[in-house]
Amino acid sequence: MANLDTALKDAMTIDGAIGAALVDYTSGMTLGVAGGTPEIDLTVAAAGNTDVVRAKMRTIEMLKLNDDIEDMLITLGSQYHIIRPLAGPNGKGLFLYLMLSKTRSNLALARHQLRTIEEQLEL
């Protein structure tokens, strides 16, 4: 079991990681951030991606799929962004956000590692 800081630190050890954040999608605020660059403000990314998560959840609800998001992958020209809502009972309303460099990362491995981090995260 890992706490918030350890989990974010672990997320930053994933190959190609640029930044990681734990975000509350009811407010868009971050509970914690790690990494990032002077150009990339992770709090801005968190607020923006909150709208992405909300839109997808609303769509699933509208389609009456009766299912949950396991993770979301957004592919940019030079980056991968992985969003992973927390599944645990005390992770309700939160998601992990990971930015990866496309050239330096292994997507399958990163996704697997992020799942492990999410499963072990204890708040």
Partner 1 sequence: MSTGDTFLPRRTAQQPKLPPPVKLPPSLAGDPSLPYPSIGTELHELRLQIPGVQGSVLGGVDGLLITHDVPDTLDPDDLAAMAAATFGLGRQVSLRLGQGEFRQSTVRNEAGYFSVYAVGPHALLSVVGADAINVARLHLHAPPVAERLAKLLTPA
DSSP single-letter state for residue 62? H
> Minimal distance in Å, beta carbon 30 to partner 1?
8
For position 44 contacting partner 1 by CB under 8 A, the verdict is: yes
Side-chain-side CA neighbours of residue 47 (13 Å): 5
- When binding is defined by CB under 8 A, the residue of 47, 57, 69, 72 that contacts partner 1 is 47
Helices 4-13 and 107-120: crossing angle in degrees, nearest 10, is 170
* Site for partner 1 contains 46 (CB under 8 A): yes
**Binders in 52-111 for partner 1, by CB under 8 A:** 54
Q: Is 73 in contact with 82 (CB distance < 8 Å)? A: yes
The contact mask relative to partner 1 for 5-34 (x = CB under 8 A, - = no) is ----------------------xxxx----
